[in-house]
Amino acid sequence: MAKEMELKYGCNPNQKPSRIFMREGELPIEVLNGRPGYINFLDAFNSWQLVKELKEASGLPSAASFKHVSPAGAAVGTELSNIEKKIYFVEDIPLSPIASAYARARGADRMSSYGDWAALSDICDKETAGMLSREVSDGIIAPGYTPEALEILKTKRKSSYNIVQIDPDYVPAPIEHKDVFGITFEQGRNNFKIDAGLLENLPTQNKTLPEEAKRDLILALITLKYTQSNSVCYAKEGKVIGVGAGQQSRIHCTRLAGNKADIWYLRQHEKVLNLPFRPDIRRPDRDNTIDVYISDDYMDVLADGIWQQFFTTCPEPLTREEKAAWLTTMTGVALGSDAFFPFGDNIERAHRSGVQYIAQPGGSIRDDHVIQTCDKYGIAMAFTGMRLFHH
């Protein structure tokens, strides 16, 4: 391993020179293929921290799908249902636990995961590599690769796919630095451990948190720890289903993440599952088409006759009434917020997407109103007392 690595350029092609380096010791990574760039490494190091912590907290193989230094999705490796396999396009391939984790992470928001950076807590096996070989992705970071997996991944993107191996025992320095406008910032690393102990202060009338809800709240909070703030995360059954990142207003985070969660759930509607796609339609085009079909713009597309490019027959629209009725059946969703909710409107929006469990720091002058709104819907909410801003 080397002490430094020269990069092609920084965030943009005009930002040269560019490199990553260690002030002390050697870099804890090895590039096995490709030439990762500045943003690739930002995604790689943030996503690796997320999956490493998620594996430690859950005891399960964990994966994340990153874009522009925030997760599009994250998940632990439990068995996929038949519906999940269908909506994630993995019905026809074998799935190991770590492959299942990545399928669920990428499946949270397949539109945003287009061209993602993948992160795995465990050694990448041939099942995960085989799945990645079919998706549009920029690179991967993992603690190791089986020979079969490495052989598969090295053929991706005309043999230029970025493959990074990280030392799983690497421990970063306790103090970190960042330069902005020629000025150096210094702070202690955010080593705060997220576990079930954060979920003991429940000021709501409902004080019941099932073990599954605790797992999902911990998943949401760890995800938020590596999401550009402000941020809100919805999770269900061991996987993220919606992330709202980098918004200036918390209600906009809640709406954005909630809309993504709604789309994830609408993909499971019978009409969507049975869309008559032409057999020659590529996987990304299916994702885009499903997104349009679910949206209110579909009738305009239908009127233009564009459906013929994607479907063998013209599918019936999924009406607003049908969508609304389907979304009322979404329940058991957990929600995490990286800072306190200033108003009860966030709870109102979360409730519309099936949220029954919430974890947030608390500390707003309007906490009473937020608690009252939770009580209105029987939502159990924990005050963690810990903010999780990430910039």
CB 42 within 8 A of CB 97: no
Nearest alpha carbon to residue 48 among 101, 154, 122: 122
Q: Other CB atoms closer than 10 Å to residue 179's CB: what's the count?
A: 8
Other C-beta atoms lying within 10 Å of the C-beta of residue 27 = 17
Amino acid at 29: I
For the chain, how many helices (H) and strands (E)?
13, 15
Say whether 177 is catalytic: no
Task: Check if 230 is active-site.
Answer: yes
Spatial separation of the C-alpha atoms in residues 299 and 277, rounded to whole Å: 17
How far is Cα 329 from Cα 324, in angstroms, rounded to an integer? Answer: 9
Catalytically annotated residue among 68, 154, 252, 271: 68
Per the residue annotation, which of 33, 46, 52, 67 is the catalytic one?
67
Residue of 40, 46, 162, 230 with catalytic role = 230
| Max CA separation in the chain (angstroms) | 63
391 catalytic per annotation:
yes
Q: How far apart are CA 20 and CA 100, in angstroms?
A: 32
User: Residue 114 and residue 89: Cα distance in Å, rounded?
Assistant: 14
Tokens representing 318 are 């999924």
Q: Provide the 10 A C-beta neighbour count for residue 114.
A: 19
Please check whether residue 166 is in contact with residue 48, taking contact to mean a CB–CB distance below 8 angstroms: yes
* Spatial distance between the Cα atoms of 84 and 57, rounded to a whole number of angstroms: 24
Question: What DSSP element (H or E) covers 242?
Answer: strand 239-245
| Residue 68 a catalytic site member | yes
Structure tokens at 352: 């519309």
Please report, to the nearest 10 degrees, the dihedral formed by the alpha carbons of residues 5, 8, 9, 12 taken in order.
-140
Length of the chain as a residue count: 391
Q: Catalytic residue positions?
A: 67-68, 230, 391
